[in-house]
Structure 1
Amino acid sequence: MEIVKTQNTQTSVTTSQKNMKTGVLIVNLGTPDSPNTPDVRKYLREFLMDGRVIDIPVAFRWMLVNLIIAPFRSPKSAKTYQELWEDRGSPLKFYGEDVEAMLQKELGEKFEVKLAMRYQSPSLDVVLEQFRNSGYQKIIVIPFFPQYASATTGSVYEKVMKIVSQWQIIPEIKFVNTYYDHPKFIEHFTTAARNYMASHEYDYFIFSYHGVPERQIRKGDCTGKTCNFGSCCDTIHSFNQYCYRAQCHETTRLMVKELGLKEGTYLTTFQSRLGRDPWIQPYTEDTIKRLAKEGKKSVLAFSPAFVSDCLETTIEVGEEYKEVFEELGGEHWQLVESLNNSPIWVELLKDLVTKNS
Structure 2
Amino acid sequence: MAKRGIVLLNLGSPDSTEVKDVKKYLMQFLMDERVIDYPYILRLLLVGGIIAPFRAPKSAEAYKSVWTKEGSPLIVLTHHLQQALQARVEEPVEMAMRYGNPTMESAFDKLIEREPGLEEVIAIPLYPHYAMSSYETAVEHAKAVHKKKKYTFSLSFVKPFYNEPHYIHALTESIKPYLQQEYDQVLFSYHGLPQRHMKKADPTKSHCLKVENCCEVASPAHATCYRHQCWTTTQLLAANLNIPANKVGFSFQSRLGQEEWLKPYTALRLQELPKEGVKKLVILCPAFVSDCLETLEEIAMAGKESFLHSGGESFTVIPCLNVHPLWVQSLATWIKDFAEGRKEMILKEVL
TM-score (norm 2): 0.92
- Aligned-pair CA distance for 1:106: 0.8
Aligned-partner SS, 2:187: strand
Structure 2 equivalent of residue 344 of structure 1: 326
Structure 2 equivalent of residue 68 of structure 1: 50
Q: 1:167 to 1:328 in 2, by over 3 A?
A: closer
Q: 1:197 to 1:55 in 2, by over 3 A?
A: same
Task: Find 1:119's aligned residue among 99, 115, 135.
Answer: 99
- State how 1:280-291 maps to structure 2 within 5 Å: 280-291=262-273
Aligned-partner SS, 1:107: coil
Q: Are 2:58 and 1:98 equivalent residues in the alignment?
A: no
- Aligned-pair CA distance for 1:121: 0.5
Which runs of 5 or more structure 2 residues have no equivalent in the other structure? 340-351
Alpha-carbon distance in structure 2 between the residues aligned to 1:266 and 1:96: 29
Q: Are 2:184 and 1:203 equivalent residues in the alignment?
A: yes
Alpha-carbon distance in structure 1 between the residues aligned to 2:150 and 2:288: 35
- Number of aligned residue pairs: 336
Structure 1 equivalent of residue 202 of structure 2: 221
Q: Is the 8 A contact 2:251 2:263 kept in 1?
A: yes
Q: Is the 8 A contact 2:9 2:95 kept in 1?
A: yes
Structure 1 equivalent of residue 153 of structure 2: 171
Q: Are 2:174 and 1:192 equivalent residues in the alignment?
A: yes
Alpha-carbon distance in structure 1 between the residues aligned to 2:12 and 2:269: 28
- Aligned-pair CA distance for 1:169: 5.3
What RMSD, in angstroms, separates the aligned Cα atoms of the two structures?
Answer: 1.6
Aligned-partner SS, 1:116: strand
Q: 1:272 to 1:169 in 2, by over 3 A?
A: closer
- Tell me the alpha carbon deviations over residues 178-224 of structure 1, each in whole angstroms, 9 at most, x when there is no partner: 111223322333333321222x2000111000001111110111111
Structure 2 equivalent of residue 128 of structure 1: 108
- Aligned-pair CA distance for 1:162: 1.0
Task: Find 1:259's aligned residue among 237, 241, 255.
Answer: 241
Alpha-carbon distance in structure 2 between the residues aligned to 1:168 and 1:329: 58
Aligned-partner SS, 1:241: helix
Q: 1:123 to 1:167 in 2, by over 3 A?
A: closer
Alpha-carbon distance in structure 2 between the residues aligned to 1:238 and 1:72: 40
Q: Is the 8 A contact 2:94 2:110 kept in 1?
A: no
- State how 1:1-357 maps to structure 2 within 5 Å: 18=1, 20-108=2-90, 111-131=91-111, 134-168=116-150, 170-198=152-180, 200-228=181-209, 230-234=212-216, 237-357=219-339
Aligned-partner SS, 1:180: coil
Alpha-carbon distance in structure 1 between the residues aligned to 2:45 and 2:38: 11
Which runs of 5 or more structure 1 residues have no equivalent in the other structure? 1-17
TM-score (norm 1): 0.90
- Tell me the alpha carbon deviations over residues 22-76 of structure 1, each in whole angstroms, 9 at most, x when there is no partner: 0101111001111111111111111111100111001011111111111111111
- Aligned-pair CA distance for 1:235: 5.4
- Aligned-pair CA distance for 1:168: 4.2
Between Structure 1 and Structure 2, whose CA radius of gyration is higher?
1
Alpha-carbon distance in structure 1 between the residues aligned to 2:57 and 2:221: 42
Q: Is the 8 A contact 2:194 2:262 kept in 1?
A: yes
Q: Is the 8 A contact 2:203 2:220 kept in 1?
A: no
Percent of aligned pairs with the same amino acid: 38
Alpha-carbon distance in structure 1 between the residues aligned to 2:9 and 2:150: 24
- Aligned-pair CA distance for 1:128: 2.2
Aligned-partner SS, 1:206: strand
Q: 1:89 to 1:171 in 2, by over 3 A?
A: same
Q: Is the 8 A contact 2:170 2:330 kept in 1?
A: no
- Aligned-pair CA distance for 1:312: 0.4
Q: 1:356 to 1:242 in 2, by over 3 A?
A: farther
Please identify runs of 4+ aligned residues in structure 1 that moved more than 4 A: none
Q: Is the 8 A contact 1:235 1:246 kept in 2?
A: no
- Aligned-pair CA distance for 1:241: 2.3
Aligned-partner SS, 1:338: coil
- Match of 1:123, as an amino acid? T
Alpha-carbon distance in structure 2 between the residues aligned to 1:70 and 1:44: 6
- Match of 2:255, as an amino acid? R
